[in-house]
Amino acid sequence: MPARDFFHSVERIGPVQIGTHRSRRSGETRHAAVCTSERCGWSADYANRSAAQLAARTHRCRVR
């Protein structure tokens, strides 16, 4: 399960929320894309915001 503490600068693209957080392990700023759709559960971490935004835009829910 990804660490979701320290979320800020949250934005929403479709069902996907993008939040910036700081990784406790590496100390780097990471951009997490998390699908808020029930039963989808997709989430991924990206090193930069544009990558997370692209992933959010191209994400297709398995559940509709």
Dist CA 50 CA 55 (whole Å): 8
Residues 35-64 touching Zn ion, rule: CB under 5 A, are 35, 37, 40, 42, 61
Shortest distance, position 37 Cβ to Zn ion, whole Å = 4
Site string for Zn ion, 1-40 (x = CB under 5 A): ----------------------------------x-x--x
Residues in binding contact with Zn ion, number by CB under 5 A: 5
Question: Is residue 21 within 8 Å of 36, Cβ to Cβ?
Answer: no
Q: Which two tokens stand for residue 11?
A: 């934005």
Dist CA 10 CA 16 (whole Å): 10
Binding site for Zn ion (CB under 5 A): 35, 37, 40, 42, 61
